[in-house]
Homo-oligomer: A and B are copies of this chain.
Amino acid sequence: MQSGTKAKPGIADDAPQATGRARARSKAQANVTLFDVARLADVSIASVSRVLNTPDKVGAEVRARVEAAIRRLSFVPNGAARALRSSKARLVGAIIPTLNYAIYARMVESLQQHLSAQGNSLILNSSSYSLETEYREARLLIERGVECIVLVGDVQRHDTLALLRDQNVEYILTYSNADSPSVSSIGFENGESAGAVARHLHELGHRSFMMISGVSRHNDRVRDRRSGFVTELGRLGVPSSDVIVVEEEYTMAAGCAAMKKQLDAGSDFTAVFCGTDVFAAGALKACTDAGIRCPEEMSIVGFDNLEFGEYLQPAITTVDVPGVQMGVITAQAVARLLAGDKTPTKARLDAPLVVRSSTAAAPARARRTGR
Check A201 for interface membership: any CB of B closer than 8 A: no
- When the two chains form their complex, are residues B84 and A112 in contact, meaning their CB atoms are under 8 A apart? no
- When the two chains form their complex, are residues A140 and B168 in contact, meaning their CB atoms are under 8 A apart? no
Check A141 for interface membership: any CB of B closer than 8 A: yes
Please tell me how many copies of the chain the complex holds. 2
- When the two chains form their complex, are residues B125 and A140 in contact, meaning their CB atoms are under 8 A apart? no
- Knowing A102-B100, A124-B112, A168-B29, the reply to whether A281 touches B308 (Cβ < 8 A) is yes
Looking across the interface, which residue of chain B has its beta carbon closest to that of A162?
B74
Cβ < 8 Å to B, chain A residues 222-240: none
Which residue of the partner chain, among B122, B124, B145, B288, contacts A313 with CB atoms under 8 Å?
B288
Stretch from A103-111, A174-182, A204-212, A329-337 forming part of the interface with B: A103-111
Least Cβ distance of A4 to chain B in Å? 26
Which residue of the partner chain, among B77, B122, B307, contacts A123 with CB atoms under 8 Å?
B122
Least Cβ distance of A129 to chain B in Å? 13
Measured between beta carbons, the chain B residues less than 8 angstroms from A109 are: 98-100, 126
- Knowing A80-B83, A84-B80, A144-B79, the reply to whether A105 touches B113 (Cβ < 8 A) is no
- When the two chains form their complex, are residues A100 and B91 in contact, meaning their CB atoms are under 8 A apart? no
Measured between beta carbons, the chain B residues less than 8 angstroms from A83 are: 80
- When the two chains form their complex, are residues B168 and A30 in contact, meaning their CB atoms are under 8 A apart? yes
Report Cα–Cα, A256/B81, bound state, in Å.
52
- When the two chains form their complex, are residues A167 and B74 in contact, meaning their CB atoms are under 8 A apart? yes
Check A285 for interface membership: any CB of B closer than 8 A: yes
Cβ < 8 Å to B, chain A residues 9-35: 27-30
Report Cα–Cα, A140/B168, bound state, in Å.
25
Check A244 for interface membership: any CB of B closer than 8 A: no
Report Cα–Cα, A285/B278, bound state, in Å.
18
Measured between beta carbons, the chain B residues less than 8 angstroms from A313 are: 285, 288, 312-313
Check A218 for interface membership: any CB of B closer than 8 A: no
Which residue of the partner chain, among B91, B113, B143, contacts A144 with CB atoms under 8 Å?
B91
A: number of interface residues (CB 8 Å): 63
Check A137 for interface membership: any CB of B closer than 8 A: yes
- When the two chains form their complex, are residues B143 and A76 in contact, meaning their CB atoms are under 8 A apart? yes
- When the two chains form their complex, are residues B100 and A112 in contact, meaning their CB atoms are under 8 A apart? no
Measured between beta carbons, the chain B residues less than 8 angstroms from A167 are: 28, 30, 74, 76
Which residue of the partner chain, among B77, B112, B307, contacts A126 with CB atoms under 8 Å?
B112
Contact with B along A183-206 (1 / 0, CB 8 A): 000000000000000000000000
Cβ < 8 Å to B, chain A residues 138-168: 139-145, 163, 166-168
Contact with B along A317-346 (1 / 0, CB 8 A): 000000000000000000000000000000
Contact with B along A79-97 (1 / 0, CB 8 A): 1110110000111000000
Measured between beta carbons, the chain B residues less than 8 angstroms from A163 are: 74
5 closest A-B pairs by CB: A80-B83, A30-B168, A99-B109, A80-B84, A281-B311
